[in-house]
């Protein structure tokens, strides 16, 4: 906790209001959690997202900086570990954004139906391609006002074009929005 607190103190100046910590809940499928369960001290760095940085170039930069400060602090540790309290100051992570939110989408239905559609890219390895593909999936449809989109598209007055009347949840985006 002292190491993480120290890394936080260095990074919060570089990327203010962009650092969070996950809950301490145990996840049986998490590699890091299983290292801890086996008695191995573990510090987990998870990288988020910068706008239009799907290759994570910016994220990798801050991973490197975080690793540098973590190793520096670890090399200076002694039996009198101080500064662990800072760890508790790190805000807990909240999922607040989708990659795209289409706002005010009017569906092609008999009754008036206006809603938001939230889309999240999934990183997938496609057959025959060397690079990772970012495939858009519908995550929510309805009132999505509690979350933001890295890209928000106002669809007021535009047409929802799809082979189906409604966007299907947890499915690849199969619609277009046209003027």
| pLDDT (tens digit per residue) in 89-146 | 998 887 788 999 999 999 988 888 999 999 999 988 888 988 888 899 999 999 999 9
**25 or 57, higher pLDDT:** 57
pTM of model > 0.75: no
- State the Cα–Cα distance between residues 167 and 103, nearest whole angstrom: 13
Please give the C-alpha separations between residue 35 and each of 29, 30, 44, in angstroms, as whole numbers. 11, 9, 11
Using the predicted structure, report yes or no on whether residue 155 has a pLDDT greater than 90: yes
Amino acid 82: pLDDT: 78
| pLDDT (tens digit per residue) in 64-97 | 999 999 999 888 877 667 788 998 999 888 778 8
- State the Cα–Cα distance between residues 113 and 107, nearest whole angstrom: 6
The H or E element spanning position 12 is helix 2-14
Question: Dihedral, CA atoms, 93, 95, 96, 97, nearest 10 degrees?
Answer: 130
Ordered DSSP codes for 32-88:
HHHHHHTT-----------TT-TT-HHHHHHHHHHHHHHHHHHHH--SS---GGGGG
- State the Cα–Cα distance between residues 116 and 73, nearest whole angstrom: 46
142: left (phi over 0), alpha (psi -120 to 50) or beta: left
């Amino acid at each position: 906790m002292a190491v993480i607190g120290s890394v936080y103190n260095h990074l919060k100046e570089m990327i203010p209001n962009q650092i969070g910590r996950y809950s301490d809940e145990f996840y049986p499928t998490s590699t890091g959690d299983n290292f801890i369960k086996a008695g191995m001290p573990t510090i987990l760095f998870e990288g988020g997202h910068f706008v239009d940085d799907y290759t994570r170039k910016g994220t990798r930069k801050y991973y490197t900086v975080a690793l540098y400060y973590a190793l520096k602090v670890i090399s200076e540790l002694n039996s009198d570990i101080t500064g662990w309290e800072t760890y508790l100051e790190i805000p807990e992570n909240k999922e607040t954004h989708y990659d795209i939110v289409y706002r005010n989408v009017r569906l092609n239905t008999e009754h008036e139906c206006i809603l938001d559609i939230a889309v999240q890219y999934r990183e997938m390895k496609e057959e025959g391609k060397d690079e990772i593909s970012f495939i858009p999936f519908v995550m929510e449809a309805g009132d999505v006002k509690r979350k933001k989109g890295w890209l928000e598209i106002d669809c007021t007055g535009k047409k929802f074009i799809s082979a189906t009347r409604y966007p299907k949840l947890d499915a690849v985006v199969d619609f277009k929005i046209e003027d």
